[in-house]
Structures are given as structure tokens and as C-alpha cells.
Amino acid sequence: MRWSMPSTLFAVAVLAIPACKGDKSLCDRVEDRLRDCGLLSEGRFECQEFEIDEWDCLVNCELDATCEEIRAIECDDEKVASVTECQQDCMKRLGFTCKDGSEVLLGLQRCDGDEDCDDGSDEADCPTFQCKDGKATVMQYQTCDWREDCDDGSDEAGCPGFVCANGNRVTADSVCNGRRDCLDNSDEAGCPVFTCRDGKQEISEALHCDGDEDCDDGSDEAGCPPVAELVCPSS
Ligand SMILES: [Ca+2]
Ligand SMILES: [Ca+2]
Ligand SMILES: [Ca+2]
Ligand SMILES: [Ca+2]
């Protein structure tokens, strides 16, 4: 059986993922666990969250493991039976098993318009969306995919994201990220700024301590905490 995702804690930070559970975010819990086990260097833990139930479940399996087991997985790329079993259970419960039983996919790979199963069963019997004007029916996965598939554009109406001043839509995380995502730059309007050491140049606060020098004098990266890295004992 094949699995379609890597599943190590540190990959969370690199791949950028999951949802919140309880008071602490998954990223915080991953950071705490890696630190408790002495597997993380000092510094800012770079980790981004987004919501995939399976990922949350997969990571939790590893969070429950002992430090020794986590070290084996993260540093030595070893499989730990109890963690693997737990993760296979996550995929069975939350994922989609191809009809021919050959593969288990992430739930979001079901009806996403790409055939991921060899037998194409992940794209069979998928829901459709009726355009508001009643003229056409498109696939559900074509709603909120940033392309107008209905003549009246109703498949893209009311979708999440930020609507630019010119009416275009960009993802919610485009707002105040220091990059121009709307052609009219309205996604960066009124965002906090960082003043470079020369006192003249201003850049987006989002670019302060982001690892790249954006001020001409590089002062936006001066005195920033280092980025935490995975530490593997040499023994
Ligand atoms: Ca698919
Ligand atoms: Ca669309
Ligand atoms: Ca932006
Ligand atoms: Ca910077």
C-alpha cells in the first residue's frame, strides 16, 4: 500500500501545514515536543498552519511517541511500528481508499479533478455545482478554484479570500505579506511598516526578520533570532 504524504514532525515546518486543536496550535505542539526531546536548535521555529485533518492525525501519532522514537524517525529515517500503525489508521479513517485497494489517498484528493488512483475511482461519482443562471453544471471542485467556469461566474462568487480594490480575488494570506498580490496593491494598503535604519526607507513589517535583506542597508535582518533547525545527536 502506498501513502501519499511524508509524515515527520520536522516536515511540518518545512512543508508548512495544519489545524488547531485545543489551546495550542499543531505548530506549537510540534515545536514543544522537538524542544523537549532536545532535537531543535535555539531560534524561531518556522511553521505555517493549514487545515488537513489527516495531517493533524498523522502528526499527532508522532507527537505521542517517545523522544527516542521521534529521534529515530526524524534523524535516522527509521520506521517505528506503533507510529506507523497509528498513521495507517489515520489514513484509513480519514483518507480515501481506491476501489481496487491499491492506494490510500488524502481526503482532499477525492473529487479534485485529478485521477490519483490507478483505477480512477477517486474521481467517480463526484458532486456537481449548478451555475446560478441555470445554464450549466460544473464539477464541485471547479467552485472557488480561481477560474470562472460558469458564464455568470457564480462558481467563484462568495469564495474565501481577499477581494482587491479592482475586484480580483486573492488568497486571505496575501494581505499584508509584503508582496503585491493584487495588481493595484490594495492587499498591502494600510499594513504595518518597518523603517530601515537609515530612517527613510520603509518596507512591510512582514519582511522584517523574514530571512531576506529587504532594506538597502540590510537592517531589517539585523538582530533577528536565528531560525531553529533540527538537531540530531551524532552518537
Ligand atoms: Ca483525485
Ligand atoms: Ca471555478
Ligand atoms: Ca500581498
Ligand atoms: Ca527581510
pLDDT in tens, 8-50: 666 555 444 443 445 678 899 999 999 999 999 998 898 877 6
The pLDDT tens digits for 127-170 are 999 999 999 999 999 999 989 999 999 999 989 899 999 988 89
Q: Is the model more confident about 184 or about 3? A: 184
Identify residues whose C-beta is under 5 A from ligand 3, the ion. 174, 177, 179, 181, 187
**3-state helix/strand/coil string of 139-158:** EHHHCCCCCCCCCCCHHHCC
Provide the domain count of the chain: 3
For residue 107, tell me if it sits in a domain. Answer: no
Those residues whose C-beta lies under 8 Å from the C-beta of residue 72, and which sit 6 or more positions away, are 78, 80
**Which DSSP letter does residue 30 get?**
H
Q: Is residue 228 in a domain?
A: no
For residues 218 and 209, give the distance between their C-alpha atoms in angstroms, rounded to a whole number.
10
Burial class of residue 79 (count of CB atoms within 10 Å of its CB; 0-12, 13-18, 19+): exposed
State the ligand closest to the CA atom of 181. Answer: 3
21 in a structural domain: yes
In a domain, 117, yes or no: no
Residues 143, 89 share a domain: no
Which structural domain range is residue 141 located in?
Answer: 128-159
pLDDT grade, residue 234 (50/70/90)?
confident
Residue 24 shares a structural domain with residue 63: yes
Question: What is the distance in A from the centroid of ligand 2 to the CA of 128?
Answer: 12
Q: Are residues 7 and 69 in the same domain?
A: yes
pTM: 0.66
Do 25 and 50 lie in one domain? The reply is: yes
CA of 123 to the centre of ligand 1 (A): 6
- State the DSSP code for 9: H
Q: Which ligand is nearest to the CA of 179?
A: 3
CA distance 232 to 71: 7
